[in-house]
Amino acid sequence: MPKITIGVMGPGASATEADLCHAYELGKLIAQEQWAILSGGLNLGVMAAVNEGAKSAGGFTIGILPGADRRGMSENIDLAIVTGMGSARNNINVLSSDVVIACGMSAGTASEVALALRAGKKVILLNETGDGNDFWQKLGAGDVAIASSPEQAISLTKAFLSHQFG
């Protein structure tokens, strides 16, 4: 049986310091739950931070890469999926995750939140500035929850998982 897989999405080059700290912490906490972490896999922004945090706690990390080879990959990826399809791979990110956590906000992250809702997935927004929280909650109805800390994101994830699997 596949492990529970939590997708962590967030800004690349435009990540804020808060996004990066949250992502590192999320990586650690998810690893401690024995869940796999799925991300866009690049050595950049939230992707880099979440995988570094995960590996600091012995987690298992999956990177769904946009390019046609492994260039630019985070060194903390255990399993690399090479898609060669650019941002269209964002749909694979969310389809392959049991729950999606958006840590920070950017155009790419917004596409992942939207595609996740389109696919009926549960989404947790952990977003210092709160940009778009109202918009996404209205759009996603009960499928979107707002977290104010990595710890709360984990609690909300557990609640969503227990609905799905429990």
Does 110 bind its own copies (CB under 8 A)? Our answer is yes
Under a CB-based contact definition with an 8 Å cutoff, are residues 125 and 145 in contact? yes
- Give the per-residue SS3 of 124-145: EEECCCCCCHHHHHHHHHHHEE
Tell which one of 27, 53, 108, 150 touches its own copies (CB under 8 A).
108
Residue type, 34: Q
> Which tokens sit at 161?
């998982």
Helix 45-56 to helix 17-32 angle (10° resolution) is 40
Stretch that binds its own copies, among 24-32, 106-114, 147-155, 157-165 (CB under 8 A): 106-114
Window 47-86: residues binding its own copies (CB under 8 A): 62, 64, 68-70, 75, 77-86
Using CB under 8 A as the binding rule, the residues of this chain from 16 to 45 that contact its own copies are: 36
Q: Contact between 105 and its own copies (CB under 8 A)?
A: yes
Q: Of 93, 144, 108, 98, nearest to 123 (Cα)?
A: 144
Give the nearer residue to its own copies in terms of CB position, either 140 or 150.
140
What residues make contact with its own copies under the rule CB under 8 A?
A: 1-3, 5, 36, 62, 64, 68-70, 75, 77-92, 95-96, 105-108, 110-111, 113-115, 117-119, 131-132, 135, 138-140
